[in-house]
Chains A and B, each alone.
Chain A
């Protein structure tokens, strides 16, 4: 369980032990399995339903889940350090509320977005400081943040506030053509940029290595002289920022702010990260895996809505079953690696 073995993969990203051509114990295996699963589900969908086998279908997955993509980026950072962030769903709701409230009061849209991002990052920073300097478990600290953010939503307004600001409406309705019959929304571009930046930071910068280092054992990371304190606080700032940005994208999608939106979205984010092959103990996983995890969740919902006769609660059951499969798989792979 918590016993860390010496031969766990080193903190250097992109390092694979050469052991035969196909290595079951490789840290890429969970991601590959997710990819195969995604393709298989797409294939099954394509044989069953008309219109499933199209590129626009895949783009729609991105359009409908752009906010979740941004959320899992932050969540991946936090989970890679061995922490967890339960507050993301509430911060999304708080962001939609602040945005809708300020826009109704007539503030310029770009200022509103900046304020939302600052509020989210500040909340994340406070959580990070509490976790690092008061040694409170991430679970409890982010739980308190979850209650706080949700409570602040109610303080702003109990009712749904609709957004009529022309900039937000534009962002919601603009379709950027990619080719004949193909289009995406600006939100998708923002989400892809966030994923790309996160990929770069995690795999090509010192900060990224420190994140993996903390996940593999905070004590040794500190003895190596890595800036543990700064990085551990930073991942919660990143998560808070991503949640706020996810909230902004969510308002582009729904054009309203409501206190009760995004209840349980933190579970979706955690599930996507786990299905994407990141270990919840930290230290092992990839951003692109989490992106695949989001796509798997999206495709489950699409299949269930295409099926028509299946009730919505099957989504939850299928996601639960998938989580089970992936967790047992990861467990087997970790055992193989030893």
Chain B
């Protein structure tokens, strides 16, 4: 086989990219105008722009989730944080004298983000100081968080009528949706901070072996604390976007299942739930796949009833294609045993239990 083709096949993002391209091709085949983008009133419109705008919150949450998962953790509470930050911002704006003043909006956004940071720090505290397993530590906030959001909105759906606030989720900057610019901005910051400094390496080392990296002098406690705070921040901003886009805060349904979508995006993007090596680019593609999948359902005209079945099938297929067991089997079919990771051939790996440890 051609060496370039082999290398491409072995690349960790090969299957995710093929899936994404496949979905896009499917869309074009059904609706040839799928790729057309038009400029109207200085704003870009089109299916691709829609995918970007609606995918922005998922991308943000998945971004925070990637770093958390890289430290061998998981953050189940992001959906609850989304609900809380949206609820708080909307309550402050709705309760203020002048909802349209930019100062009010800035104060509301500021307070919500600070609260999101505190919630992230709380998760980080439980995981790094108390030493609770991440899945349970964040389960607490996942369970209690929706209750807290209901407490803030007093069980009502708070609607806001504020032009400056609407910009975050529904506005346009430089002809592009503001939400996607914010999300990509955060993405760029995270990428530069972790890949152009040693931070990414330290995060990976904590994920691969927390004990060893602590003995080697890595401050694993502060690193773990930091990734949870970052995840809280991302979820908080996503919450602002979602509530701003629909100009209302719904404590029950805002960000429902977003943690699942985000974790799927991360896993589809090739980051293992067992921690260690992570791929921000993979997460970007993963989030794009999740959102394109949703859009495809509408374009292709699949009945909305079976959206979830369709989504489940795609997720299962992508996960199976990426699974180490299948990769090994494919490798031996091609008579090309994977020499880089001989440990894959051990009869029982602990990877199945890895998510919980």
Which residues of chain A have a CB within 8 Å of any CB of chain B?
1-3, 81-84, 130-141, 143-148, 150-152, 154-155, 158, 217-219, 222, 228, 232, 267, 270-271, 274, 280-282, 311, 313-317, 319-321, 323-324, 327-328, 331
Contact = CB atoms under 8 A, between A and B. Distances in A.
B315 A280 contact: no
B37 interface: no
B140 A324 contact: yes
Interface in B302-340: 304-313, 315-316, 319-320, 323-326
Contacts of B139: 267, 270-271, 274, 323
Given A83-B352, A155-B305, A311-B150, A147 B143 contact: no
B355 A137 contact: yes
5 contacts: A140-B264, A154-B306, A154-B309, A267-B143, A328-B132
Contacts of A152: 309
B312 A218 contact: no
A122 to B, nearest CB: 15
Contacts of B132: 327-328, 331
A134 B147 contact: no
Contacts of B150: 311, 313, 316
Interface stretch (B39-47, B89-97, B232-240, B343-351): B343-351
Given A313-B146, A323-B139, A155 B356 contact: no
Per DSSP, are chain B's interface residues mostly helix, strand or loop, or mixed?
helix
B193 interface: no
Contact of A327 (B137, B151, B304, B350): B137
Contacts of A314: 147
A316 B324 contact: no
Contact of A315 (B135, B147, B312, B325): B147
Nearest to B143: A320
A218 B348 contact: yes
A94 to B, nearest CB: 11
Given A135-B324, A147-B315, A311-B150, A154 B305 contact: yes
B216 interface: no
Nearest to B251: A313
A136 B323 contact: yes
A195 B210 CA distance: 39
Contacts of A331: 130-132
Contacts of B146: 313, 316
B308 A148 contact: yes
A222 B348 contact: yes
A317 B326 contact: no
B273 A139 contact: yes
Contact of B355 (A138, A155, A217): A138
Interface residues of B, number: 61
B140 A323 contact: yes
B353 interface: yes
Contacts of A81: 353
B320 A136 contact: yes
B158 interface: no
B301 to A, nearest CB: 16
Contact of A228 (B267, B348, B351): B348
B155 A311 contact: yes
A50 to B, nearest CB: 28
Interface in B113-129: 126
Contacts of A135: 323-325, 349, 351-352
A263 B139 CA distance: 16
B348 to A, nearest CB: 5
Interface centre among A217, A219, A313 (most CB of B within 10 A): A313
Contacts of B101: none
Contacts of B151: 313, 317
B351 A84 contact: no
A204 B136 CA distance: 29
A222 B347 contact: yes
A151 B311 CA distance: 9
B308 A139 contact: no
Given A143-B260, A327-B136, A316 B144 contact: yes
Nearest to B147: A316
B141 A2 contact: no
A155 B309 contact: yes
B219 to A, nearest CB: 16
B135 A134 contact: no
B103 interface: no
Interface centre among A133, A324, A328 (most CB of B within 10 A): A324
A84 B143 contact: no
B222 interface: no
Nearest to A126: B316
Nearest to B274: A137
A302 B77 CA distance: 26
Contact of A154 (B136, B142, B308, B316): B308
Contacts of B110: none
A281 B133 CA distance: 8
A213 to B, nearest CB: 12
Nearest to A321: B144
A130 B320 contact: yes
A314 B151 CA distance: 8
B309 A151 contact: yes
Contacts of B144: 316-317, 319-321, 323
A314 to B, nearest CB: 7
A134 B310 contact: no
Given A83-B356, A280-B136, 8 more contacts: A83-B352, A130-B316, A135-B324, A140-B267, A143-B263, A267-B139, A274-B136, A274-B139
Interface centre among A131, A135, A218, A271 (most CB of B within 10 A): A135
A218 to B, nearest CB: 5
A274 to B, nearest CB: 6
Contacts of A134: 319-320, 323, 325-326
A328 B309 contact: no
B309 A148 contact: yes
